[in-house]
Amino acid sequence: MLERTDSFLVGREFDSALSSIMFHISILDAAPSDGRGLSLCHLLTCAANILLSMELYDHAKKLATLAIDETSGNHAELTRAYTVLMKLEHLLGDVKGVQEQFSKALVPVQWHLGPIHPLLCDTYMTMAEVLSDLGDKTQAVETLQSCVALVRDSFGKTSLLYADIRRQQGLLMLTDEPTDDQAIIGVLEDAFSVYEKHFQDPVDDAPVYKDYAAECCYLLATLHTRISQATETAYGIALNGLSLRKEVLPPNHEDIMKSYLQLGNLSRDLGEHYRAVDYYKLGLVILKHFRDDNHIDQIRSVTQAMLQLYIQTLPQEKHNIIDKTLKRFALQRPRFALLTKPESAEQSTETPSDAAAPASENISDESALLMFATKKLFELDPIEYIDQLIEKTELEFQDYRKQYNLNFTDTVRRTNAGAPSPQHSMLRSSSGRFASFSGGGTFSPPGSPRPLSPMRHPTLFPASPLSPRSKGRTSFNQLDCNFLKSSSEEFTFGGQLAAVLFLVDHQSKQ
């Protein structure tokens, strides 16, 4: 029956576990002198703990109080009952009550069994949790230290219980605005060394211990980097932690993702950019499974860090395309920056005249483009996306040049077929030399108005020189070629690449 009760508790079947405990109490009532029976105090305390887990606080308090009332003298079992009352007082927000029950809990065991006994372990651990929850981290660490000494003296420094408490002590020290990182390293290394000795134990709990050991590795790698810049040492520890986590956790577990990202950061610090990109990519794949508000900013920052490094690893020919794209879309970057500022609405009157125009006339395309590029970075593999953009941006630019040359040839042919008079040709030539370029945007010098679609641009698709619209010609190399949309109203590859490059650079400066 006791084994069944334990199995119910493991499966969080509290109703069944409570029924089993109450059945034991009935047996004890029927045969109080049976030597096989458990003490009433123990059974009532177990039932109170279960009721506490079921959030039936009034019933839990009644049974815990009954356990104390039914037990004569300073029996050690009373400590468990007082521990239940400690938890209840904490849940009810009574700090003074917690302290009183803690003091009462220590007395029975220390009087009955001496100052060092494993039965006190749960009481110390509970008090440490309460103090931590109340924000008194320093006192919680001191309470845990008493528990560490108790377990060490009871079971030695090689027990798994000792390792568990040392690990929890290290975690608590980390959250207490640590001033002595070296001391925390000593605590976590102590815990890991004990866990490591039990990796080969033929027990079902071995995966749990490996997971705890991996957590120690993760924290140790962070601490080594923080206090001594020992990046190579930290990398080796973090790699060991990842190996342990991959043994015992599912492939898409959040802790594995954290290890990948940690190794990415360490590889970056070591100057191993290719390796860092690989780790970031693996971590990002898992991270994108957690599309809640808590992870969106992390997805964005990891994507930015990965693309920054990836761009540095590109060959020179791709760097040339990126540099050319940045130059072509230089006019758009101030508009992109305006859109990413929370106070952009208040600043709009202080920006240049083109940026001060109404959003629907001035930055709607840029705004839509930034949202489009961000969405693509979330939906696709960012590296594959930027590779595709670089390749297609160059092809797109070559198409612009071809179209410009074809239209230039066609315009000359139609001009010659028209055979204008020498006087008209001279006037047209003079007009072409001194006329200002009035085409809108993308194939225009810096400072020009809004970009147009390539299908609407007067220079790429010029009118006849005899047309009143004709005001001369600018060579292709003088043009910006910063189209945001194609003739089909889709965003151009060059525009997308410019937006991605802005997002990577802008986020890194925040």
* Maximum Cα–Cα distance across the chain: 130
DSSP lists the bridge partners of residue 250 as none
What is the band of 465 on the pLDDT scale with cuts at 50, 70, 90?
very low
495-506 average pLDDT score:
93
More confident site: 473 or 469: 473
Confidence band of 310 (pLDDT split at 50, 70, 90): very high
Inside any domain, residue 153: no
Which pLDDT value is given to residue 113? 77
Domain that holds residue 323: 314-341+363-414+440-466+477-510
pLDDT confidence bin for 460, thresholds 50/70/90: low
Q: Which residues of 122-153 are buried (b: 16+ CB within 10 A; e: fewer)?
A: ebbbbbbbbbbeeebbebbbebbeebbebbbe
User: Which of these three, 72, 102, 131, is where a domain ends?
Assistant: 131
pLDDT at residue 5, rounded to an integer = 55
pLDDT exceeds cutoff 50 at 441: no
Where residue 34 sits, what CATH number does that domain have?
1.25.40.10
Residues above pLDDT 90, as percent of the chain: 43
How large is the average pLDDT for residues 449-467? 48
Which one is predicted more confidently, 475 or 327? 327
Structurally, how many domains does the chain consist of? 2
- Residue 79 resides in a domain: yes
Q: What is the pLDDT of residue 109?
A: 81
Does the pLDDT at position 129 exceed 80? Answer: yes
pLDDT score, position 486:
86
pLDDT in tens, 186-226: 999 999 999 999 998 887 788 999 999 999 999 999 999 98
The last residue of one of the domains, among 107, 131, 155, is 131
Average pLDDT over residues 476-493: 80
pLDDT at site 119: 81
Instruction: Please write the tens of the pLDDT for every residue from 254-289.
Output: 999 999 999 999 999 999 999 999 999 999 999 999
- Whether 490 is in a domain gets the answer yes
pLDDT tens, position by position, 52-93: 888 889 989 998 998 888 776 667 778 888 999 999 999 888
Q: What is the average pLDDT across 233-262?
A: 97
The span from the CA of 123 to the CA of 151, in Å, is 13
pLDDT at 360 over 60: no
Q: pLDDT of 161-170, one tens digit each?
A: 999 999 999 9
Residue 236, pLDDT above cutoff 90: yes
Assign 295 a pLDDT band (cuts: 50, 70, 90).
confident
Of 106, 131, 156, at which residue does a domain stop? 131
CA angle (248, 254, 257) in 5-degree steps? 90
Whether the per-residue pLDDT at 448 is higher than 60: the answer is no
- Provide φ and ψ at 429, rounded to 5°: -65, -45
Which pLDDT score, from 0 to 100, does residue 36 have? Answer: 43
Question: Which comes out higher in pLDDT, residue 209 or 423?
Answer: 209
Q: Is the pLDDT of residue 46 over 60?
A: yes
Q: In the prediction, which pLDDT does 264 show?
A: 98
Q: Are 501 and 325 in contact (CB under 8 A)?
A: yes
Alpha carbons 262 and 237: distance in angstroms, whole number: 11
Predicted pLDDT at 463: 45
The pLDDT, as a whole number, for residue 356 is 41
Does residue 180 sit within a domain? Answer: no
Residue 325 is predicted with a pLDDT of 94
Backbone φ, ψ for residue 236 (5° rounding): -65, -40
Residue 50 banded pLDDT, cuts 50, 70, 90: confident
Tell whether the model's pLDDT for residue 28 goes beyond 70: no
Query: What letter does residue 455 receive in the DSSP assignment?
Result: G
Q: Does any domain span residue 198?
A: no
| pLDDT category of residue 348 using cuts at 50, 70 and 90 | very low
Q: How far apart are CA 231 and CA 375, in angstroms?
A: 35
> For residue 352, what are the contacts with CB-CB under 8 A and spacing of at least 6?
334
Domain assignment present for residue 8? The answer is yes
What is the model's pLDDT at position 449? 40
Most confident listed range (57-61, 171-175, 306-310, 358-362) = 306-310
Confidence check: pLDDT of 100 > 80? yes
Assign 412 a pLDDT band (cuts: 50, 70, 90).
low
List Cβ neighbours of 467 (8 Å cut-off, separation of 6 or more): none
Q: Report the pLDDT value the prediction gives residue 171, as an integer from 0 to 100.
A: 93
Of 69, 29, 27, the closest CA to residue 45 belongs to 69
Q: Is residue 45 part of a domain?
A: yes
Average pLDDT of the chain is 79
pLDDT of amino acid 496: 96
Helix H segments across 54-94?
A: 57-69, 78-91
Separation between Cα atoms, residue 280 and residue 246, nearest integer Å: 16
Q: What is the mean pLDDT of residues 125-132?
A: 90
DSSP string, 92-157: TT-HHHHHHHHHHHHHHHHHHT-S--THHHHHHHHHHHHHHHTT-HHHHHHHHHHHHHHHHHHH-T
- Closest among 256, 309, 304 to 283, alpha carbons compared: 256
Q: Where are the alpha helices (DSSP H) in 229-292?
A: 231-248, 254-269, 273-287
3-state secondary structure of 270: coil
pLDDT at 309: 97
pLDDT at 422: 47
Confidence at 7, pLDDT banded by 50, 70, 90: low
Asked whether 217 and 194 are in contact (CB, 8 A), the reply is no
pLDDT for residue 431 is more than 60:
no
Q: Do the domain assignments include residue 117?
A: yes
